Amino acid sequence: MSSSWKMYSLVSIWCTVIAVIVMSAGCALRQDSPQPLPPKPAGISLSEGDMVEVNFSGVNSPPESMSERIKEDGTITLTLIGPIKVVGLKPGELQRKIHDLYVPDYYKYLTVTVKAENRLVYITGEVKNPSRQIYSGEMTVLKAINAAGGFTDFANRSNVKIIRANGETEIVDCKDALDNPSLDLPVYPNDQIVVPRRII
């Protein structure tokens, strides 16, 4: 075997050894380093009147699971903890908050799951698919109508009515709103959009 071939073999072996050492060190470093927290789940902030369900698991005697509507003062009441402010939090943020209230003061480990009822917008009248749509945040009249399949051929697009959850009504000219988005009014949970039939 030539000396150049021996030298090439030695270099290859050393490169392999060094690569294994570096990879092992990297793995050890990753194992010892604190893991970043997962991103907070996206969602809509909770508001007064929303139904919130909180479930506990992961321990032998977890706190009692509960379902409660958010009170006027923006709170729900937890076993052992008492009232806590939840309005303005997203479900994932509330989940983390509740976990931190119980761990480590009451439990060493605890799994908390928070669910909030879907909030709906109702689209009726001259749309292709009159329906209830899940409120996804930053919804407008035109977006809600598009989610319901769009206008029918008989729709009066200039006189679309929004009936707010508090009973107030507003009129939107969707023809103008197409050209001027500022006229495309926002829609909120439990609003009803009524698209009338045009008079022929």
User: Tokens in use for 156?
Assistant: 């009066």
- The residues, any chain, with a CB within 8 Å of residue 92's CB and separated by 6 or more, are 40, 41, 42, 43, 114
Per residue in 167-197, pLDDT (tens digit) is 999 999 999 999 999 999 999 888 999 999 9
Contact 165, 189 (CB under 8 A): yes
Taking only the tens of pLDDT, the chain with its 200 residues reads: 555 544 545 545 555 545 444 444 443 333 333 333 333 344 678 888 889 999 999 999 999 999 999 999 999 999 999 999 999 999 999 999 999 999 999 999 999 999 988 888 999 999 999 999 988 778 999 999 999 999 999 999 999 999 998 899 999 999 999 999 999 999 988 899 999 999 87
For residues 128-152, one letter each, b for 16 or more C-beta atoms within 10 angstroms of the residue's C-beta and e for the rest, the string is eebeebebeeebbbbbbbebbeebe
Tell me the backbone φ, ψ of residue 47, rounded to 5 degrees.
Answer: -135, 170
The domain segmentation of the chain, as residue ranges, is 51-116, 120-195
Q: What would the CATH number be for the domain defined by 120-195?
A: 3.10.560.10
Q: What would the CATH number be for the domain defined by 51-116?
A: 3.30.1950.10
d(CA 60, CA 33) in angstroms, rounded, equals: 30
What are all long-range contacts of 116-121, with beta carbons under 8 Å and residues at least 24 apart? Answer: 116/43, 116/46, 116/50, 116/51, 116/52, 116/53, 116/91, 117/50, 117/51, 119/44, 119/50, 119/189, 119/190, 120/189, 120/190, 121/187, 121/188, 121/189, 121/190, 121/191, 121/192, 121/193
Helix, strand, coil abundance in the chain, percent, nearest 5: 30, 30, 45
Enter the pTM of the model: 0.56
d(CA 16, CA 25) in angstroms, rounded, equals: 14
Q: Tell me how far CA of residue 84 lies from CA of 70, 72, 128, in angstroms.
A: 10, 12, 43
| Dihedral (Cα; 173, 178, 180, 183), 10-degree rounding | 40
